[in-house]
Amino acid sequence: MNGSPAIHSPFLAVLDGTPLNPPPLWMMRQAGRYLPEYREVRAKAGDFLSLCYNPELATEVTLQPIRRFGFDAAIIFSDILVAPHALNVGLRFETGEGPRLEEVNTPTRIAALPDELDPAKVQPVYEAISKTRAALPAETALIGFCGAPWTVATYMVAGRGTPDQAPARLMALRNEALFQRLIDHLVEVSVTHLSGQIRAGAQAVQIFDSWAGVLDPLSFERWCVEPVKRMVEKLRALHPQVRIIAFPKGATLEGLEKLSALDVDAIGIDWTVDRHAVRDRLSPKVALQGNLDPLRLIAGGKALDDEILRIRRDFSGTRHIFNLGHGIRPETPIAHVEALVAGVRRAL
């Protein structure tokens, strides 16, 4: 558990330019309700946010999937909505209903957002990162993350998740200048939050743009590509060595191509895109991360095994990090995750 930093990390090696067979593996939402040991700690913490803000417990649940499955990367246990919460936007999680936020959709409310993140909210995250890094095997990389400005804005404007995030889309159409102010604010604080995570020990950061798929091409360029581009430029200036993964869920091939032209190290892809087209058209400067449909992990059997093989074959010889195309769902059987690990690591 305590090798030197020189020990090779397969995950970082792929991000840094080397294709590997077998590919490194981790899963989005790998610390979560499908694990009995997570449910136990979560019950002890009380609610979800108390777990996020408790460095010891957040460290423990971050390490759980590493101990059980030996994934190549850990992702710090937190949430993308911690950033708005640290801007004093009221936040609670209703069991079974998802997040509820204080709505931020008026000029007054947007102008009142503080410039600094509340240290009481973000310091526990950084402390959990330091603790986790110290406890991880040297070859297991540690990932920090934030939501992309667009995705975080969709929750702030609506105060919740909605089927197609229409409230934020409407605000962007009706009052472009006001929406731009919100996005600009989120660009700044997201860079600050990622920078804090990197200083605490995160070796890579992932920018989750979970709602990138609801925008027309022009709006995608303006609200997804442009803000992420500015974030990447600022981060690179502060931390030249950090690896950056952009995950624009639901983006079209053209959208993915645009993001791959930014100074990022990898692009996350969901299961709806054609792997050959992605391989051929995205910039060869980026690694590809994905793209197993989380439902195949629930189904198991041939639906799972065949797709693992196809993904490995389609990406063989390229810089590929095996992952799901979105987070693992709570109803996923643990035996299927074990089958995934075996299928991704077996000799081909």
State the residues that interact with ligand CP3 by CB under 6 A: 28-33, 42, 48, 75, 77-81, 93, 98-99, 145, 161, 208, 210, 327
Residue 82 or 225: the one with the smaller Cβ distance to ligand CP3 is 82
> 245: helix, coil or strand?
strand
Residue 75 or 308: the one with the smaller Cβ distance to ligand CP3 is 75
Please pick, among 34, 53, 126, 155, the residue that the annotation labels catalytic: 155
> 292: helix, coil or strand?
strand
CB 147 within 8 A of CB 81: yes
- CA–CA distance, 336 with 342 (Å, rounded to integer): 10
Please state the φ and ψ torsions of residue 81, each to the nearest 5 degrees: -85, 0
- CA–CA distance, 194 with 79 (Å, rounded to integer): 13
Residue nearest to ligand CP3 (CB): 210
Q: For strand 204-209 and strand 141-147, is the pairing parallel, antiparallel, or unpaired? A: parallel
Q: Which pair of structure tokens corresponds to residue 241?
A: 């060595």
- CA–CA distance, 193 with 245 (Å, rounded to integer): 15
Residue 71 or 179: the one with the smaller Cβ distance to ligand CP3 is 71
Task: Tell me whether residue 42 is one of the annotated catalytic residues.
Answer: yes
Residue 192 or 323: the one with the smaller Cβ distance to ligand CP3 is 323
Residue 85 or 296: the one with the smaller Cβ distance to ligand CP3 is 85
Task: Tell me whether residue 222 is one of the annotated catalytic residues.
Answer: no
Task: For the CB of residue 99, give the shortest distance to ligand CP3 in the complex, in Å.
Answer: 5
Q: In sequence order, what are the residues at sequence separation of 6 or more whose Cβ sits closer than 8 angstroms to the Cβ of residue 88?
A: 113, 114, 118
The angle formed by the CA atoms of residues 246, 225 and 165, to the nearest 5 degrees, is 90
Task: For the CB of residue 108, give the shortest distance to ligand CP3 in the complex, in Å.
Answer: 26
Task: For the CB of residue 152, give the shortest distance to ligand CP3 in the complex, in Å.
Answer: 9
Task: For the CB of residue 21, give the shortest distance to ligand CP3 in the complex, in Å.
Answer: 25
Q: For strand 98-101 and strand 320-324, is the pairing parallel, antiparallel, or unpaired? A: unpaired
Task: For the CB of residue 154, give the shortest distance to ligand CP3 in the complex, in Å.
Answer: 9
> 247: helix, coil or strand?
strand
CB 76 within 8 A of CB 64: no
Task: Tell me whether residue 79 is one of the annotated catalytic residues.
Answer: yes
CB 25 within 8 A of CB 322: yes
Task: For the CB of residue 278, give the shortest distance to ligand CP3 in the complex, in Å.
Answer: 20
Task: Tell me whether residue 155 is one of the annotated catalytic residues.
Answer: yes
From the centroid of its chain, how far is CA 33? 17
Please pick, among 38, 53, 79, 222, the residue that the annotation labels catalytic: 79
Cα torsion through 9, 15, 16, 18, rounded to 10: 80
Residue 165 or 195: the one with the smaller Cβ distance to ligand CP3 is 165
Residue 49 or 304: the one with the smaller Cβ distance to ligand CP3 is 49
Task: For the CB of residue 298, give the shortest distance to ligand CP3 in the complex, in Å.
Answer: 14
Task: Tell me whether residue 345 is one of the annotated catalytic residues.
Answer: no
Q: DSSP assignment, residue 196?
A: H
CB 155 within 8 A of CB 24: no
Please pick, among 34, 38, 42, 133, the residue that the annotation labels catalytic: 42
H helix or E strand, kind and range, residue 147: strand 141-147
Name the residues annotated as catalytic.
29, 33, 42, 79, 155
